[in-house]
Structure 1
Amino acid sequence: MSEDNIFREVDEELRSDRMRALWRRFAPFVIGAAVAVVAIVAINEGWTWYHSNNAASSSDELYAAFEQIDGGDLAAAQTQLDALIADGSGSYPILAQFRKAGVLAKEGKTAEAVAAYDALGNSLSDTRLRELALVLGGTLMVDTGTLADVESRVGSIAAEGSPLRNAARESLGLAQYKAGDFAAAKTSFEAVINDPLTQSTVRNRMGYYLAQLLSEGAIAAEPAADEAEAAASAIDAIVSDETPAAAAPAPETPAADAPAATPEAVPAAQ
């Protein structure tokens, strides 16, 4: 064996010894890191599966409660919703709270329903959901509360910028009408009519409210052009609805919804 081969073998042995020494020194750390990565991935996947499974279960429970409500079994629905509020996953408990408040209103328990909406309005961090709760509570207060009760809930939402501004304006206008503040009610209804994003059905309903104010002599009989058009549409719709079947058909006009001082569902936002 040549001298070069001997030196080469010695070098290889030394390198092998050093590698074995390094491995013995750092192997626990390498293996530990690998185990940690596997554990983290497993935990993350398990957590994701757990939440997905819980979310699916909560969805089924909420759907079951909706079916019970549609079937008229409100007591069973309340029990189902209470369980979902206590143990539901994700956002389902919040949805259940909204639905429970709606069931209370449907049962005629207005004070309890308003309290439930107020609790949501005071606790939710999401601005839109908080505004929705306040508008729903304010709508229920139109019949049972004072103008101040309604204003305290929807007054700030009626300003420009909120997606629910027109629902808030309608509730506020009805409360103002009930309180005898006809000028303020007119302003609230006009604000909805003049909003370019207002749906035609909502605009017609505001026109009906204005027509009612005009017929009572509560406001001046000189509405602006767009208000007059909406009011005329509402009046024409009422007249056409009252026309006997044997009479000649009247020209088609947009249907106007009848006013409801206490809508059970949230009014259209636009």
Structure 2
Amino acid sequence: MSELFDEVDEEVRREQLKKLWDRYSIYIIAAALLIIAAVAGWRGYQYLEAQKAAEAGAAFDAALDLAEQNKHAEAQAAFDKLATNAPAGYRMLARLRAAGEVAASDPQAGAKLYDELAADRSIGTEQQDVARIRAAGLLLDTDSYPNMLQRLEAATKPDATFRHTARELLALSAWRANDISSARQWLDMIASDGETPAAMRSRAEALQALLPPVAKS
């Protein structure tokens, strides 16, 4: 008797499933097709993005080759094109390199481009700091110490990525301006930072030796 009930239950379940399928099959098929289309679209998008990145990488390498051959105008044009058309990461790198190519022939113009990058929050804080440091390096021989201080002071904080370079540039700028007190301040900061690179520490010690001795009270 129990086997008969089981057969009846199985038949009822089959009938219910058939009714459900007859009613909703079009929706189930449509949903399955949508999932397949979405996966295919995503795969296609990933493939296209990978292709774009590969093409941008090859174009970036070609622009670097031009720069190494001292073909600065051609390299700048190549980097400018990448800065407009390449994926986001390459656009930012291309803008930095384009500014460097301009700086090779016109430091003031290069510094201006770096300043524009330093003011662009869309490229990220670290990239802004790179641009800020490079602009300051180009202007070290011509800009005043107060201007250099305004440019770089925020980059000298203990947690700043490029604090060592910023401090060295400020020490050099103060020394050139004959601001001995400020030069010593930055040199002392370089010396007291345990993470200061060895080469920079040596340069700071050499510059420290050129300063007049501290007056005794």
Contact 2:144/2:173, CA 8 A, preserved across alignment? yes
Structure with the higher fraction of residues in helix conformation: 2
Q: Which amino acid aligns with 1:220?
A: P
Moved over 2 A (4+): 7-21
Counterpart-to-counterpart distance in 2, 1:70 and 1:153: 30
For residue 156 of structure 1, give the secondary structure of its aligned residue in structure 2.
Answer: helix
Amino acid at match of 2:36: V
Q: Deviations over 1:144-169 (max 9, x none)?
A: 22223212221111121112111000
Cα deviation, residue 8, structure 1: 9.8
- 1:190 matches 2:195: no
Query: Counterparts in 2 of 1:160-199, with a 5 A limit?
Result: 160-199=158-197
TM-score, scaled to structure 1: 0.72
* 1:13 to partner: Cα distance: 7.1
1:48 Cα deviation from its structure 2 partner: 1.0
**Residue 213 of structure 2 corresponds to which residue in structure 1?**
220
Which residue among 38, 41, 44 is the counterpart of 2:42?
A: 44
Q: How does 1:42-121 map to 2 (within 5 A)?
A: 42-107=40-105, 109-121=106-118
Amino acid at match of 2:109: E
2:115 maps to amino acid: D
The structure-2 alpha-carbon separation of the partners of 1:65 and 1:31, relative to structure 1 and needing over 3 Å to count, comes to: same
Structure 2 distance, partners of 1:195, 1:211, is 18
> Which structure 1 segments of 5+ residues have no match?
214-218, 223-270
Are residues 204 and 12 of structure 1, via their aligned partners in 2, closer, same or farther at CA, if it must alter by over 3 Å? closer
Shift of 1:14: 6.5
Which one has more relative contact order, counting CA pairs under 8 Å at least 6 apart? 1
Cα gap change, 1:202 to 1:8, in 2 (>3 Å):
closer
The letter for the 2-side match of 1:150 is M
* Percent sequence identity over aligned pairs: 27
**SS of the counterpart of 2:25?**
helix
CA contact 1:78–1:100 (8 Å) conserved in 2: yes
Give the Å deviation of 1:196: 0.8
Preserved contact between residue 72 and residue 104 of structure 2 (Cα < 8 Å)? no
Match of 1:23, as an amino acid? W
Shift of the 167–17 alpha-carbon distance from structure 1 to 2, 3 Å rule, reads same
Larger Cα Rg: Structure 1 or Structure 2? Answer: 1
Q: What is the aligned counterpart of 1:139 among 131, 137, 140?
A: 137
Listed one character per residue, the Cα deviations across residues 163-219 of structure 1 (whole Å, up to 9, x for unaligned) are: 211100011111112222111011112211221111221111111211222xxxxx3
Q: RMSD of the alignment, in Å?
A: 2.3
Q: Give the SS at the match of 1:220.
A: coil
Counterpart pick for 1:33 among 26, 31, 44? 31
Per the alignment, do residues 19 and 115 of structure 1 end up closer, same or farther by CA in structure 2, a change over 3 Å counting? same
Count of paired positions: 212
3-state SS of the aligned residue for 2:156?
coil
Which consecutive residues of structure 2, in runs of 5 or more, have no partner in the other structure? Answer: none
Normalised TM-score (structure 2): 0.88
- SS of residue paired to 2:160: coil
